[in-house]
Chains A and B, each alone.
Chain A
Amino acid sequence: MESIGVLMVCPMNSYLEHELEKRFNLFRFWTVPEKSAFLATNKNSIRAVVGNSSAGADAELIEVLPKLEIVASFSVGLDKIDLAKCKEKGIRVTNTPDVLTDDVADLAIGLMLAVLRKLCESDRYVRSGKWKKGDYRLTTKFTGKKVGIIGLGRIGMAVAKRAEAFSCPISYYSRTEKPEIKYKYYPGVVELAANCDILVVACSLTEETLHIINREVIDALGPKGVLINVGRGPHVDEPELVSALVERRLGGAGLDVFEHEPEVPEELFGLDNVVLLPHVGSGTVETRQAMADLVIGNLEAHFLNRPLLTPVV
């Protein structure tokens, strides 16, 4: 398989690169100075693309790779892949579901606790020596707060299961009600936001869910409400979110994703009611290794004509 060209679109994981190099002819797209020239030269040998949450396979890239057979994403999210185009051309698509569910759900809970109990702020308080001058102020209890989840898929369910252990009543919004689920369903996001204390974005990013968190939803969540985003930055109308936080119309936010990563609105940096993370939802040693193994497993299966492990298309 060493002659099979695999194009990795951006740096994501050195173990993955290493393992791909052992098996395939790996092209590191980000090291190429003249991308169009490179593609013109190598397009006929590239049979697979490996992307992630930052860069995937858009229509433009797919069009320029006539021998492309499979796109294997080092992510569960598929928003950076033109799925319609892949379907059209019979190109397979795989992602990395399940192996990262726990990490993302853990982070959602970690963000809730960090925001409500102001963990990072009080850690800074201690390290700056301020504790000597007086106690830190009172924060907000987490146990028992109502948690509303947008998207009750693998990750949404995992968040719910954890939050239940803290006696949090769970409610949710999704495209369709899930009759087998005991949590309370709301047919609209605004209604969900109006009836919970902590709103968690855990759905996939599609045309329908772009800016699903808008001014109306933020107003409904209100000055005592907290938004947790472990989905995608574009799920949230970011300028609206920023002004709501700065003007204290929203109680707080825990954000792992942003509209223009790695750029984060600087107005948030001075706020004590937000926790800002650099898209680390699945960023643990254990999980990234499992994700990498799944990417390799899917590519090997494809080129050996075996069933794909985690196909999407």
Chain B
Amino acid sequence: MNNTCVLVTCPMFTYLEQELETRFNLIKLWDHSSSKAEFFNNYSSSIKAVVGNTKVGADAKLIDSLPNLEIVASYSVGLDKIDLDKCKQRGIKVTNTPDVLTDDVADLAIGLALAVLRKVCVCDQFVRSGNWISGDFGLATKFSGKSVGIVGLGRIGSAIAKRAEAFQCPISYHSRSKKPNTNYKYYSNIVDLAANCEILVVACALTEETHHIVNRKVIDALGPKGFLINIARGAHVDEPELVSALLEGRLGGAGLDVFENEPEPPEQLFALDNVVLVPHVGSDTGETSKAMADLVISNLEAHFKGKPLLTPVI
């Protein structure tokens, strides 16, 4: 396999690149950014695999330029940066990294909810700036018992629900269809879900249908005592609407791991103390990154050895 050419689309994880390099002829797309035409002339017909992530995947343009592409292995569970239709058309396999990152993302969702409601980061700053000497901090909002509404009850959504239940949070959800094996309350309409919960969590896949699924109507329904937690994709939320709702006090607060234009979240949020903003770290722990990388490697090895893929999408 050592002369099999694998293209990695952007820097993602040193361990992954090292492991790929020991097994394949690894080509780093960003090493050739100044000479794209030359790059494609030299390498395009030898590239058999692409490793992408949440930033740079495999769009139609890239796929079209690689005539011998056999497999796209995503270092993510989300597939929104891959042109799945084009892959299907061309018979290109696609794999992702489900399950291994479910716990981390669910942990982060709960961590964000606790941090926002209990003002953990604001309090930490209050102590470090020496302000506690001048007086006690004010009161925050209790988390236990708050109703949690989950958009998308897949692996991650279910993991969030299980955790929230331990805090006695009543759970409700919205998804494309009602799930048969759960006791959680189902809402076929996301606005109804938002109107009937205090903490709304986005945990669904990003598709054409779910683009801006959290819009003005949903934000209004969630209201000035409601909180939005987004650990999915920035494009799930109409960001300008979210920003103005937060600035105007029409939404109680938000915990956000993702934004429409990463790495540039809206600066108007930076002065607010009812938001927690983290830089797309949902699965960014040492343990999970390694597990994701191992899964990418295993999928590629399986493919080039003619064995069944471990986590195929198509």
Q: Is B114's CB within 8 Å of the partner chain A?
A: yes
Task: Check B143–A280 contact: CB distance below 8 A.
Answer: no
Q: Are B139 and A110 in contact (CB under 8 A)?
A: no
Binding stretch for chain A, among B23-31, B84-92, B147-155, B273-281:
B273-281
Contact with B along A162-185 (1 / 0, CB 8 A): 101111000000000000000000
Give the distance in Å from the alpha carbon of A139 to the alpha carbon of B92 in the complex: 34
**Nearest residue, chain A, Cβ from B162:** A165
Q: How many residues of B contact A (CB 8 A)?
A: 55
The answer to whether B263 touches A131 (Cβ under 8 A) is yes
* A36 at the binding interface (Cβ < 8 Å): no
B248 CB-CB contact with A under 8 Å = no
**Is the beta-carbon distance between B142 and A285 smaller than 8 angstroms?**
yes
CB distance from A200 to the nearest CB of B (A): 15
List B contacts of A269 (CB < 8 A): 127-128
B137 interface hit (Cβ, 8 Å): yes
| Smallest CB separation, A39 vs chain B (Å) | 25
Q: What is the minimal beta-carbon distance from A242 to any residue of chain B, in angstroms? A: 14
Within 8 A of A (CB), among B117-131: 118-121, 123-128
B residues in contact with A127, CB < 8 Å: 270, 277
Looking at the complex, which one of A105, A111, A276, A285 makes contact with B128 (CB distance below 8 Å)? A276
CB–CB B142/A126 < 8 A: no
For residue B285, CB closer than 8 A to chain A, the reply is yes
**Residue A103 at the B interface, CB < 8 A?**
yes
Contact B111 A103 (CB under 8 A): no
The answer on a CB contact under 8 Å between B124 and A276 is yes
Complex: chain B residue closest to A105, CB-CB? B144
Within the complex, what minimum Cβ distance (angstroms) separates A259 from chain B?
Answer: 14
Separation of A135 and B280 alpha carbons in the complex (Å): 8
**A284 engages B141 (CB within 8 Å):** yes
**Residues 163-185 of B at the A interface (beta carbon under 8 Å):** 163, 165-168
Instruction: From known contacts A110-B118, A140-B286, infer whether A135 and B104 are also in contact, taking CB-CB under 8 Å.
Output: no
Q: Are B133 and A263 in contact (CB under 8 A)?
A: yes
A278/B281 in contact, CB under 8 A = no
Query: Do residues B107 and A143 form an inter-chain contact, with CB atoms below 8 A?
Result: yes
Given A141-B107, A280-B140: A136 in contact with B281 (beta carbons within 8 A): yes
Which among B120, B127, B163 is the interface contact of A165 at CB below 8 angstroms?
A: B163
Q: Are B286 and A131 in contact (CB under 8 A)?
A: no
**With a CB–CB cut-off of 8 A, which chain A residues contact B108?**
113, 117
Are A166 and B163 neighbours in the complex by a CB distance under 8 Å? Answer: yes
Q: Which residues of A contact B103 (CB under 8 A)?
A: 141, 143-144, 166-167
Q: Which residues of B36-80 have CB atoms within 8 Å of chain A's CB atoms?
A: none
Chain A nearest CB from B103 CB (Å) reads 4
Bound together, the chains give a CA A113 to CA B139 distance in angstroms of: 21
Give the residues in chain A near B264, CB-CB below 8 Å: 131-132
- In the complex, what residues of B have CB within 8 A of residue A131's CB? 262-265, 279
Q: Is B279 touching A119 in the complex (CB atoms < 8 A)?
A: no
B132, B144, B145, B286: which contacts A141 (Cβ < 8 A)?
Answer: B286
Are A139 and B140 CB-contacts (below 8 A) given A262-B132, A280-B123? no
Which residue of B115, B167, B265 is within 8 Å of A114 (Cβ)?
A: B115
A120, A162, A287: the one within 8 Å of B167 (CB)? A162
With A120-B125, A140-B287, A288-B139 known as contacts, the answer to whether A264 contacts B118 (CB < 8 A) is no
Residues A50-89 near B (CB distance < 8 A): none
B311 an interface residue at 8 Å Cβ cutoff? Answer: no
- B120 near A119 with CB under 8 A, answer yes
Distance between A279 CB and nearest chain B CB, rounded to angstroms: 8
Q: Which residue of B lies closest to A144 (CB)?
A: B103
Q: How far is the CA of A278 from the CA of B125 in the complex (A)?
A: 10
The answer to whether B166 touches A161 (Cβ under 8 A) is: yes
Minimal Cβ-Cβ distance residue in A for B164: A165
- Other-chain contact of B281, A109, A110, A139, A261 (Cβ < 8 Å): A139
Chain A residues with Cβ below 8 Å from B287 are 140-141
List CB contacts (< 8 Å) of B156-205 with chain A: 162-163, 165-168
Name 19 A/B residue pairs within 8 A (Cβ), A-sorted: A102-B168, A106-B114, A106-B118, A110-B114, A113-B110, A119-B120, A119-B276, A122-B278, A123-B278, A124-B121, A136-B281, A138-B286, A166-B107, A263-B133, A277-B127, A278-B137, A283-B140, A284-B139, A284-B142
**Top 5 nearest A-B pairs by Cβ distance?**
A165-B166, A113-B111, A110-B114, A102-B144, A143-B103
Additional pairs, 7, CB under 8 Å, beyond known A106-B114, A138-B285? A105-B144, A122-B279, A123-B115, A164-B166, A166-B107, A262-B136, A284-B142
